[in-house]
Structure 1
Amino acid sequence: MHFKLHPKLIGLCAGLLLSTGIQAQMVELDRVAAIVDNDVIMASQVEQRMNTIRAQLAERGAGELPSDEVMRNQVLDRLVLESIQLQMGERAGIQIDEGTLNQTMAQLAERNGVTLEQFRAALERDGIDYGLAREQVRRELIINRVRQRRVAERIQVSDQEVRNFLNSEMGRYQTAADYRLAMIVLPVSENATSEEARRQSEAADEIYRELQAGADFTSLAVSRSGGEHALEGGELGWRKAVQLPPAFVNAVDEVGVGGITPPLRSPAGYHILKLLDKRGGDNLMVNEYRVRHILIKPSEIRSEAEAAQLIQRLYERIGNGESFENLARAFSEDPGSALNGGSLDWVMPDAMVPEFREMMVATPQGQVSAPFQSQFGWHILQVMDQREVDMTDEMREQQARNLLQNRKFDEELQTWLQEIRDEAYVEIKS
């Protein structure tokens, strides 16, 4: 049986980040490519990531690829940022247990419509070692949790912003469409001089002219974009219209599917967008879940490992017949639900953090989930009931809040990545 992995799955598993285990497999006579705080990036890691990205871009049918020097610089910059975030995760005690990792790998396979064994075989057929891909997923999860903790805490959405949004034209059409986009970014920092901004504007105009003349968008994104998704050919995936600045939505609507916008200015710099696909969003029915959970938080007196052990013991006690409700009242550290036996009442998936949402949706009604971790700590949950409801005013407000938070998160992430890069000790070796 032969099939191709979806590019997003290849992208998630592509490349190998820094780890002692992986470094132990480095070839002899390797050399240091960069020193990043208390870590190092080896030249072989850079070459290995470059090879994987080339294969990934070829899978997408990219045209002429950038030179080795340009790609090496892009890859090294990506590895530097990954190393900084992984070290932040290590200092914060963030760990991904084997159960969570196994579940994530199974979910990756399921999303691609294959079994885990077929997923593994497909990776290895494409030259990606399954064990190393599994470690890459672990690191992706750590980086995502670091970002959720450090970036999300910088974001606030007021009730007035939500009301203004719902009363706006964009808010009224929030369910109208989803866009699959690719983007080339030429960043302009807040402290940039007018001359620096002018040079970036001219560079954006030049890239746009090349695209209009038939240049490959993916290749130019890899070689010229300064955005986080450059090495994925600039592809952002699916975004709701309300996650995008109104000017972006208007521009991609004007060019249509397959079209490329002229350079667009934002506080972060200049952006060139390509609309890869568009789909309607007029289904106003949503699933709600009546769910309860138990939360155990790591603290100064309880390590991450001890929190994981305690939630596992509670999971086993429920499996042996003890009352979920009573254990939630006695142990859960979510003050909003503990007194109610862990009940969160009816919730929408979009209102929950990703780890909780995915576990809630995957857990059959009446069953208790295996322990899992989110940015808040360790959980177990039980889905008591499920229903499909029309979009209500309350749901609209929550959806608007989530979408505004996502928009702000995307904007804040780029700023935060630049800040941590500037604050880190980075020495690039020639």
Structure 2
Amino acid sequence: MNDLLTRTRPFLTALGIAIALSQAVPSMAQTASRIQAADFIVAVVNSVPVTNSEVLLMRNRLVRELAGRGGQLPPTDRLNREALDMLINEKAQLQQAQDQGIKVDDDQVDQAEANLASANQLSRQAFHQRLAQEGIQLSSFRQQLKNQLILSRLREREVDTRIKISEQDIDQYLRDQAQATREGPVDLNLAMILVAVPEDATETQVRAAQARADDIAQRARRGEDFAQLAKAYSQAMDKGANGGVMGLRSSDQYPELFVDAVRKLKPQQVSAPLRSGAGFHILKLLEWRQSAMTVTQTRTRHILLRPTAQLSREQAVARLQEVRRQIQAGQTSFARAAQDISQDGSASQGGDLGWTGPGQFVPEFEQVMNRLQPGQISDPLVSRFGVHILEVLERRQVNVPEKEQRDIARAALKEKRIDEAFERWVEDVRGNAYVEMRDPPQLPDLTPAATQR
């Protein structure tokens, strides 16, 4: 099986952003040195202390995350409170994990660190250098990484595995989604009765036609057979043949006037008369169904080089740069180059990965693929599997089978319920912990004037 299709669940986004350069506050090394000599306990969670320096480090982490997302900094007091609150929750959860015997060894931390370095397109050595430039001690970073791995496992045990989604839940979700998407494209089956109005009709003739249409609509709403009323009174071209039924078709194939009129109707309900240039229309909604769900599939091929002791990442990038140049110059073909040098299982097929849908590749690969137009070849990109160049061959829209629609619904429901359950669980853990607040944190101000001093 192709490695790229083995998609791992993303985690530790905050730590991935942690190496982003932040210009919103002084570096951690500078600020930490100011309070190191005066460090003190600001809170106790059960028997575990929370120190002033820990709050500073957490606050700096929050600032870097906001800077990485391009967000504005909230007031300093609010950031300080949030940093302290997060630390109290974290300490309480880590104690629960310890009570349950949840552990993470150094090898698992090494793997998580390597994944973060790869996600940021850095070697581990360069990753460590970036941390040092930011004033982040490697030992502190690895401890925080270990804590996040422990908390992730605790959440999976306490929250994720307890969420169950039934078939009835999925049915209701799909019904709700269908109702919510009535503003978008749907398939409609309508029946119509037309009371015609001549182009040169007098006001008296128009009022008479409207009165006739109102009477027919009322009779239909009282339960008279719509098909018989259509055959008796409709002045449409087919004279109400087939009971006025116009057939199931996409909403964009009906006049907008009709679609707007039935949007709030339930099946088998009848509309009030609608005026158009042809006269007065009475509509019955026979069937409403959501248009088939579609997804965009992409057919892609790639060439993969895996860095080794003999081939550094930089050398792999340079080699693929040259291969890309040769392909674009017509000196070789993409398929031939893939067969000659690619270290992926797709090499024998010229690098062809076939048709794939959203979420089937790792994010760093898929993001580049989605930006390319058919026929374009990417610059070398680094993923957790190595260095690639890729070419998008073609794209298509395909209907999502019912089973896949239900799988999508199940995943969406589970994610929503996990988020809700996680918030309740955090509150429960915090509520069951003994928290003693001590002296308030003493942290440098984050206002522009203060940071420039």
Indicate whether the TM-score tops 0.5.
no
Query: Greater Rg, structure 1 or structure 2?
Result: 2
Q: TM-score, normalised by structure 1?
A: 0.43
Q: TM-score, normalised by structure 2?
A: 0.41
